[in-house]
Each structure stands twice: as structure tokens, then as C-alpha cells.
Chains A and B, each alone.
Chain A
Amino acid sequence: AQKITQTQPGMFVQEKEAVTLDCTYDTSDPSYGLFWYKQPSSGEMIFLIYQGSYDQQNATEGRYSLNFQKARKSANLVISASQLGDSAMYFCAMRAINTGGFKTIFGAGTRLFVKA
């Protein structure tokens, strides 16, 4: 069975500092994809970054990077130089390609508060 765990209900970070949001996953499928989404208070879901299980390098997209530790089954999101607009809910998601098809499951989320 697939499982996504985000153990930090809430996180605080000072503006302009970096922050790491934790995500661990569990699947027996060797082929899977990991996604991070941002959900502002408006409710929209914004895709941030993707990491494939066979990708050799950690994914990066602007100020977002994914710290992929395959042996530990973790896929932590790192946000550098935090901005006030980064305050939002952040969700980690996983899609197991061979066994799950296009089914995509989400973690419980982490609410990030950026302080001025």
C-alpha cells in the first residue's frame, strides 16, 4: 500500500531564511513520482516541483528544491530565501507508476508561516 507522511503540522520561518518541510513515503513500487503542491488561503492548488524515483539528481525549481533521499524514503522540500507570500499549506504527494496507475495520494500537509 502507498502512504505519504508529513509530520510537521505547522512551521515558522523568518523572512529571507531557508526552511525544510519534511515528507516520507512508503511504496513497494520501484517506479514512482513525488510532487509538492502549495495551497494558499484562497484554496487553489499550485504545483511546485516533481521528483522521479529514477532521477539521479535532486529536482530544483527556482527557490524550491527537493532533498530526495531514496534509501530513507524521504522527499523533503527546501524553500530558500522565504518570502511573506510563501505562507500557505504545503502538500507532498506520490504516484506509484506500476502498481498505482494514475492514482495520486497526498500527505496531511504542513502549514508554513513566514514572519516579517
Chain B
Amino acid sequence: SQTIHQWPATLVQPVGSPLSLECTVEGTSNPNLYWYRQAAGRGLQLLFYSVGIGQISSEVPQNLSASRPQDRQFILSSKKLLLSDSGFYLCAWSDGTAQGRNQPQHFGDGTRLSIL
């Protein structure tokens, strides 16, 4: 069966520090991968999605970046965090085949990021 791992679960970082959040998927090949951010009590904002290695689509211009160095690995990074980067970050995957277009996403447990 497929599983998604996201870490760390909680992170407290000072303003201006770098960030690296990692997400890995097991049990499937060539998944679509997504990063979302959720402000407290709000909806999910799509940050990045990827349909293959090295293919990243950015949805919101900001100081975050994403990379997909391996098929089932998705990394969210920042060189300098801002206070506004605080939030709940969720990684997700979906079936990357043509049939997967109608399939739901599967989410990791999320990372609660607090910027001080």
C-alpha cells in the first residue's frame, strides 16, 4: 500500500533563517506531488505541484521554492523565512497516470511551522 511521510511535525524557526521540509511517498511510482499551506482556521493554498522529476509548477510568487530530486521525494525550501511564512504545511500525492486524474489526493500529517 502507498504511504506518505512528511517531517518534521513541528518546527520553530527565527525570521531570516533557512527552511527545508521533506516529503516522501512509498508504494507508488511517478506520483503527482503537491505542497499546500494552511493559515490557522483557513483553507489550503496551493504552493507548488509537480508531475515529474525536476518539473515544478509554482502557484504563488513568494520566498519559497520546491524541488523534486527523486521520483518520490518533494522538498520545500526557503533561504530566508518571513513572519508571514508561519502556517501548517501539507504535502500530498495523487496518482500520476491518466486514470489518476479522477483520483483524490492523499495527504501527509503536516508540519506546523512557527516563525519567531
Contacts and interface: CB of A to CB of B under 8 A. Distances in A.
A97 B110 CA distance: 26
A108 B43 contact: yes
A67 B42 CA distance: 24
A35 B109 contact: no
Interface string B3-28: 00000000000000000000000000
Interface residues of B, number: 29
Interface string B72-116: 000000000000000010101010100011111111011010000
A6 to B, nearest CB: 8
A6 B41 CA distance: 14
Contacts of A45: 90, 92, 105, 107
Given A47-B104, A50-B102, A97-B101, A106 B51 contact: no
Given A43-B110, A44-B107, A106 B101 contact: no
Interface of A: 6, 33, 35, 37, 43-45, 47, 50, 52, 89, 91, 93, 95, 97, 101-109, 111
Contacts of B94: 102, 104
Most buried by B among A43, A45, A102: A102
B56 to A, nearest CB: 12
Given A43-B88, A102-B94, A103-B49, A91 B43 contact: yes
Nearest to B90: A45
Nearest to B101: A97
Given A102-B100, A103-B49, 8 more contacts: A6-B43, A33-B101, A44-B110, A89-B41, A97-B101, A97-B102, A103-B46, A104-B94
A56 B40 CA distance: 37
